[in-house]
Amino acid sequence: MQTIPKEVLEAEVIFVNHSGGKDSQAMLAYLVAAGLTEKLVVVHSDLGEMEWEPMHAFITANSFGRPVHVVQPKLSFFDLCRKYKRLPSGQARFCTDQLKTQPIGAWIKEYCKAHNITRAINAIGIRAEESPARAKKEPWKLSKLSLKRQNLTIHEWFPIFNKTLTDVWELIRSAGQTPHPVYAQGFSRLSCVFCVFGRIAEHQKAAQLKPELFQRMVALEKELGKSIRLKQVAGVKSNKYLEEYCGGDF
């Protein structure tokens, strides 16, 4: 068990961002094992039609009895794509920002104001091992959610930043829990059903499991003339549409 920052021990509340994925689940288990249970407030942003089921029930069943608050983004995934006239990409992750980060951040500030909280932690399940970009992130910093006029100080913390994938599975197992059932279907991560970071095989499986959503995604790509993936031929990048590699007979 790593050393817990004193600011965490002194905080009145620790907000646990929970997507329902393995890293969120392992982070919550880690914080409970660290003796911080009574400070924990679990927050989940509802992804609507892009959410895997049974999400809300799954998170609640594995929340160690802590309250689970569900926030609603202002726009759906489809509305966002139409707003920006494109689909998200690794370089333009407006989906994460507007479907998760912003609505959860707004809710946290409202919660702190309503409960007269002055010291809080925003815990996020990011790990350095996930990607070179994530490895460069700061696992501890003053959050932009802090408000001087309300005497509110919030620190952003990645509790499992240095944990490996093996550590993640062990944290879940040691807590007597099992991961979301979507992992048993061969998915390596849990986020939007058709995630920009999803592998081709995962998109193909998602199309089989969610045929109606798949057809909506196909229609959206055609409507916008943009795709969720790109292909490169002779050094030239172009759209790689879901229908090309997932087919349409589901």
User: For 80-116, what is each residue's pLDDT tens digit?
Assistant: 999 999 999 877 789 999 999 999 999 999 999 999 9
Say yes or no: 167 and 224 in one domain: no
> Domain for residue 228, yes or no?
yes
Q: What mean pLDDT is predicted for residues 168-186?
A: 98
The domain boundary residue, chosen from 135, 156, 184: 184
Residue-averaged pLDDT of the chain: 94
> Domain for residue 106, yes or no?
yes
Say yes or no: 80 and 143 in one domain: yes
Say yes or no: 177 and 192 in one domain: no
The CA distance from 93 to 71, in Å, is 19
Q: What percent of the chain has pLDDT over 90?
A: 87
Checking if the pLDDT of 46 tops 80, the result is yes
Q: Is the peptide bond before 139 cis (omega within 30 degrees of 0)?
A: no
Element spanning 129, H or E: none
The CA distance from 215 to 81, in Å, is 16
Checking if the pLDDT of 193 tops 90, the result is yes
Q: What mean pLDDT is predicted for residues 234-248?
A: 85
Identify the domain containing residue 52 by its residue range. 6-184
Q: What mean pLDDT is predicted for residues 39-45?
A: 99
The closest alpha carbon to 123, from 28, 239, 59, 222, belongs to 28
Say yes or no: 150 and 48 in one domain: yes
> Domain for residue 250, yes or no?
no
Here the tokens at position 15 are 């907000």
Q: Domain holding 121: CATH number?
A: 3.40.50.620
> Domain for residue 163, yes or no?
yes
Say yes or no: 180 and 234 in one domain: no
Say yes or no: 107 and 26 in one domain: yes
Here the tokens at position 179 are 């991961």
CB 122 within 8 A of CB 12: no
Q: What mean pLDDT is predicted for residues 138-150?
A: 93
Q: What mean pLDDT is predicted for residues 131-157?
A: 94
The domain boundary residue, chosen from 184, 208, 226: 184
- What amino acid is encoded at 84 in this protein? Y
Say yes or no: 140 and 198 in one domain: no
Supply the DSSP symbol for 122: E
Checking if the pLDDT of 33 tops 60, the result is yes
> Domain for residue 213, yes or no?
yes
Checking if the pLDDT of 236 tops 90, the result is no
Say yes or no: 91 and 215 in one domain: no
> Domain for residue 203, yes or no?
yes
> Domain for residue 1, yes or no?
no
- What amino acid is encoded at 248 in this protein? G
CB 222 within 8 A of CB 232: no
Say yes or no: 160 and 233 in one domain: no
CA angle in degrees (0–180, nearest 5) for 199-134-6: 135
Local confidence band at 249 (pLDDT 50, 70, 90 cut-offs): low
Local confidence band at 163 (pLDDT 50, 70, 90 cut-offs): very high
Local confidence band at 200 (pLDDT 50, 70, 90 cut-offs): very high
Here the tokens at position 145 are 């959610």
Tell me the CA distances in angstroms from 74 to 6, 78, 102, 206, 249, one per residue in order: 35, 12, 10, 25, 33
Q: What is the pLDDT of residue 237?
A: 83
Checking if the pLDDT of 250 tops 60, the result is no
pTM for this prediction: 0.94
